[in-house]
Amino acid sequence: MNDNSRPMQRAIELARRGEGLVEPNPMVGCVLVRNGNVVGEGWHQRFGGAHAEIEALATAGAAAHGATAFVTLEPCAHQGQTPPCTEALIAAHVARVVVGCRDPNPVVDGRGIGALRAAGIAVELFESDGEAAALIAPFTKLMNRGRPWVIAKWAMTLDGKLAAASGDSRWISGEESRAVVHRLRGRMDAIVVGRGTAEHDDPLLTARPVGARTPTRIVLDSQAVLSLDSQLVRTASEAPVLLAAAANAPESRCHALREAGVEVWQAAPTALSASDRWLSLLDELGRRRMTNVLVEGGAKVLGALLDAHEIDEVHAFIAPRFVGGAGPSPLAGEGLPTMAQALSLVDRCVESLGEDLYVHGRLKSEKAR
């Protein structure tokens, strides 16, 4: 491990504390080191609040003079909701800045590094396995493609079923797995299900206990037939509900849902297929600066999303049970024609949660990127 690795790893750990609190900003951490000792630490704690560098400089005080700043993301050089971090680093007379990765925001990209070097501060990019870049992958997608990071989640039996042939699915996974799902929900900007799941399960789609964010609950319902008596509609005043409909959805149904407090968004008339409507919706969510979206099913919804090459991350809960028969599998849609084209998870992790296995990771797909 080189001299840069330990403080940068600490900066990454600090950055993760902002998860769910800072979006649509990226998570960022900063560690100040002088003469081999940590003299300041900070992280971006909430959207609109001080950036990581400012927090670290405040804790270091005069000890920042001549220190090295290890920051997970290139310091900003523009006036946003807060002043430029480059100016603060220059004013504090830090001697050196080690940057985890460049900022994908075109307003910043390279300008922060340039401003620091112009002030006589040594700047170097941290050579690593890409952990700092992975930390801000959702922010990068939002900046580069204008769409949120999409997380697919499902619970299935060991024989790959989302439900029994009758449609019954309560409960496949155990309490420990469901607790993890609620924690996931609590840091999302939106949670998405299809009309079939909304009708059959009548879910609330809320985080219990409440998390850092209150996600918008989205139902994909091309003809706007969601029941006004559903839990989602009845609780629309407590947490936002957005129904994503096709352009030809009956106006009477759209009006009734709007009157009940549901926001009805309709795709463009040219968005004819499920994949087209998905892409149109993701573009809309990107315009709303949503960063992380959790898709909870069902199989047709997840399959259409896979066909659109828009799944970025997977969280699968596998219960040691069998049901057999004709129950649905997690992913429908067209799928991939050969095993050679199968997609793989990277940065994957396998955990035991009670009796269940919890597999999560990011999707490696060159075609999708």
Higher pLDDT, 138 or 1: 138
Average pLDDT over residues 194-200: 92
Annotated binding site for NADP(+): 155, 169, 171, 197, 201, 222, 298-304
Percentage above 90 pLDDT, the chain: 80
Annotated binding site for Zn(2+): 51, 76, 85
- Inter-residue contact 52 to 89 (CB < 8 Å): no
Average pLDDT over residues 88-111: 94
Q: Is residue 81 very low, low, confident or very high in pLDDT (cuts 50, 70, 90)?
A: low
Percentage above 70 pLDDT, the chain: 97
Instruction: Return the closest-CA partner of residue 202 out of 242, 176, 229.
Output: 229
Average pLDDT over residues 347-364: 94
Average pLDDT over residues 162-183: 90
Evaluate whether the domain defined by 146-364 bears CATH number 3.40.430.10. Answer: yes
Query: Residue 127: what pLDDT?
Result: 77
Strand, helix or coil for residue 259: helix
Query: Residue 61: what pLDDT?
Result: 97
Query: Residue 368: what pLDDT?
Result: 40
pLDDT digits (tens, 9 = 90+) for 214-232: 999 999 999 999 999 999 9
Average pLDDT over residues 4-11: 93
Query: Residue 79: what pLDDT?
Result: 67
Sheet arrangement for strand 68-71: 37-43, 29-34, 68-71, 96-99, 122-125
Query: Residue 367: what pLDDT?
Result: 42
Torsion of CA 5, 8, 14, 19, to 10 degrees: -100
Annotated binding site for substrate: 185, 205, 208, 296
Peptide bond into 209 cis (omega under 30): yes
The domain 5-138 is placed in CATH, from the list 3.90.380.10, 3.10.290.10, 3.10.129.10, 3.40.140.10, at 3.40.140.10
Same fold, 5-138 and 146-364: no
Bridge-based pairing of strands 216-220 and 96-99 is unpaired
Instruction: Return the closest-CA partner of residue 219 out of 238, 185, 245.
Output: 245
Torsion of CA 360, 362, 367, 369, to 10 degrees: 150
Tokens (6 digits) for 347: 């940065």
Average pLDDT over residues 114-132: 91
Query: Residue 369: what pLDDT?
Result: 40
Query: Residue 157: what pLDDT?
Result: 95
Higher pLDDT, 77 or 364: 77
Average pLDDT over residues 281-287: 97
Query: Residue 36: what pLDDT?
Result: 94
Query: Residue 364: what pLDDT?
Result: 78
Name the helix (H) or strand (E) containing 285.
helix 274-287
Q: Give me the residue spans of the domains in the chain.
A: 5-138, 146-364
Tokens (6 digits) for 6: 């330990």
pLDDT digits (tens, 9 = 90+) for 46-68: 999 999 999 999 999 999 999 99
- Whether residue 2 is predicted with pLDDT greater than 80 in this model: the reply is no
Q: Measured between alpha carbons, how far is 51 from 43 in angstroms, rounded to an integer?
A: 7
Average pLDDT over residues 324-352: 90
Query: Residue 80: what pLDDT?
Result: 66
Annotated binding site: 51, 76, 85, 155, 169, 171, 185, 197, 201, 205, 208, 222, 296, 298-304
Report CA torsion sign: 100, 27, 131, 5. positive
Residue type, 194: G
Mean pLDDT of the chain: 93
The set of catalytic residues is 53
Tokens (6 digits) for 262: 């549901």
Average pLDDT over residues 111-135: 92
Query: Residue 219: what pLDDT?
Result: 97
